[in-house]
């Protein structure tokens, strides 16, 4: 009697195993047809008895589950993508080499979707997707960095603070080498991988190759941590975070710049000036340092100091064309207040007189900025930003022939 029962149990087990194999095989066929919902349903049925399956069948199950939840990779929810990633990891652990490609497809889908979200200014969704990409592979710390940037843009400051603190604790540096060359056809700088850039230059399609190393991002990360603490009314935490970062990286000048920025935003301008002067003393012949100090000063609204630093950068490196462009921008920034006042005036005789006086002041500003813009175009004749700004100034100053010559050149570059 016991033998008969055992035989019946074995038979039932065989029936279950056969059904399970069929469901998993049919799920694979559904995926090939693009019927992902059908595949999910079949796999759900098979999952109930998966514990009794052999390793090969389990690997197939998880591989198909990964593909079912990934779908075609378009408009897939973060939740489904994370389910797909976990399934592919299980398949990989069970020896299925194809799962590696599945994981790459999930990451690519997350990143491409995040880029679309960024372009449509849906920063919150972009940040969540990039953070999910980081969670899938913690070695890809750049995804965590961009997740933090998107969280800032989405004004999700607590989330951004967590991401930045994680980056700090990981010792994330973030400096990269960008391979640049100028497209001969358009006159525009383009970034590409090194092999492609070198090939294009050799073919004569690109000129002026340059390896441009981006500065480390530790200073930026600590600055953002400090700024979030300041925004939350926690100035003591901001100072403590910056002090801890300096203790770990005493020679990092970008951290000192961020510290100066922090004190400026806290209204401690004397402390800001003291730190800035200390930075310059550490490396007085570094044109890039003066340039970066100029950028920092401009960002916090200290335009006269920014211009000073840019001029010092040019004295050391006369080829630093961006410094000339930024000097012009800092000079032209003075125009905004004048335009605002002009727009507020009425039609009285006194207002008309004041309007003319302010108009004359605008022209003084234009004439002050113009030499720097002309110098930019002399060294870089295809710099469109300088060309457009200079053209507009020429029109404002009544030098129409010069303006029209630039307009003709801009029009020709579009053809």
The SS3 assignment for 313 reads helix
Which residues are within 8 A (CB) of 392 and not within 5 positions of it... i.e. 6 or more apart?
Answer: 403
What pLDDT shows up at residue 128? 93
How much is the pLDDT for 318? 93
pLDDT values of the chain reduced to their tens digit, one per residue, 415 residues: 344 444 443 343 344 445 567 778 887 888 888 888 888 888 888 777 776 678 888 888 888 888 888 888 888 888 888 898 888 888 888 888 888 888 888 888 888 888 899 899 999 999 999 999 899 888 889 999 999 999 999 999 999 999 999 999 998 988 778 888 888 888 888 888 888 888 888 888 899 998 887 777 887 888 889 889 988 888 999 999 888 888 877 878 878 888 888 888 888 888 888 888 888 888 899 898 889 888 888 888 889 999 999 999 999 999 999 999 999 999 999 999 998 999 998 889 998 999 989 989 999 999 999 999 999 999 998 889 999 999 999 999 999 999 999 999 888 877 6
What pLDDT shows up at residue 16? 42
DSSP H helices, 155-217, are 157-170, 194-202
CATH fold of 2-120 reads 1.25.40
What six digits make up the tokens of 29? 């066929």
Distance (Å, rounded) from C-alpha 55 to C-alpha 92?
11
Q: Is the pTM of this model over 0.75?
A: no
pLDDT attached to residue 15: 40
Crossing angle of helices 99-119 and 55-70, in 10° steps, is 20
pLDDT for 4 equals 43
Kindly report the CA angle at 393 between 302 and 334, in degrees rounded to 5?
Answer: 20
Task: Break the chain into its structural domains and give their ranges.
Answer: 2-120, 177-213
């Amino acid at each position: 009697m016991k033998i008969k029962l055992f035989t019946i149990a074995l038979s039932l087990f065989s029936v279950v195993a056969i059904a399970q194999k069929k469901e998993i095989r049919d799920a694979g066929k559904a995926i090939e047809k693009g019927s992902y919902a059908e595949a999910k349903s079949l796999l759900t049925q098979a999952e109930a008895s998966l514990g009794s399956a052999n390793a090969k069948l389990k690997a197939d199950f998880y591989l198909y589950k990964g593909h079912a939840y990934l779908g075609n990779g378009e408009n897939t929810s973060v939740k489904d993508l994370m389910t797909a990633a976990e399934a592919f990891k299980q398949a990989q652990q069970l020896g299925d080499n194809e799962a590696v490609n599945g994981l790459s497809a999930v990451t690519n889908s997350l990143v491409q979707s995040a880029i679309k979200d960024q372009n449509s200014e849906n920063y919150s969704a972009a940040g969540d997707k990039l953070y999910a990409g980081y969670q899938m592979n913690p070695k890809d710390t750049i995804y965590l960095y961009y997740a933090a940037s998107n969280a800032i843009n989405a004004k999700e400051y607590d989330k951004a603070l967590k991401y930045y603190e994680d980056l700090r604790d990981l010792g994330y540096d973030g400096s990269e080498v960008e391979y640049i060359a100028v497209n001969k056809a358009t006159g525009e700088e383009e970034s590409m991988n090194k092999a492609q850039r070198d090939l294009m230059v050799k073919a004569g399609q690109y000129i002026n190759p340059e390896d441009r190393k981006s500065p480390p991002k530790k200073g930026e990360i600590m600055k953002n941590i400090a700024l979030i603490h300041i925004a939350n009314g926690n100035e003591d935490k901001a100072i403590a975070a910056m002090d801890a970062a300096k203790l770990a990286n005493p020679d990092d000048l970008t951290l000192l710049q961020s510290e100066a920025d922090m004190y400026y935003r806290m209204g401690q301008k004397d402390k800001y000036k003291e730190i800035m002067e200390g930075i310059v003393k550490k490396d007085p012949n570094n044109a890039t340092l003066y340039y970066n100090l100029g950028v920092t000063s401009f960002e916090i609204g200290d335009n006269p100091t920014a211009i000073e630093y840019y001029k010092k950068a040019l004295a050391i490196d006369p080829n630093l064309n961006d410094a000339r462009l930024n000097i012009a921008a800092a000079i032209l920034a003075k125009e905004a207040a004048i335009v605002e006042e002009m727009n507020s005036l009425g039609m009285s005789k006194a207002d008309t007189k004041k309007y003319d006086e302010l108009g004359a002041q605008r022209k003084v500003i234009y004439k002050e900025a113009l030499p720097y813009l002309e110098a930019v175009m002399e060294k870089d004749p295809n710099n469109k930003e300088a060309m457009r700004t200079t053209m507009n100034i020429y029109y404002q100053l009544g030098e129409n022939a010069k303006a029209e010559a630039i307009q003709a050149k801009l029009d020709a570059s579009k053809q």
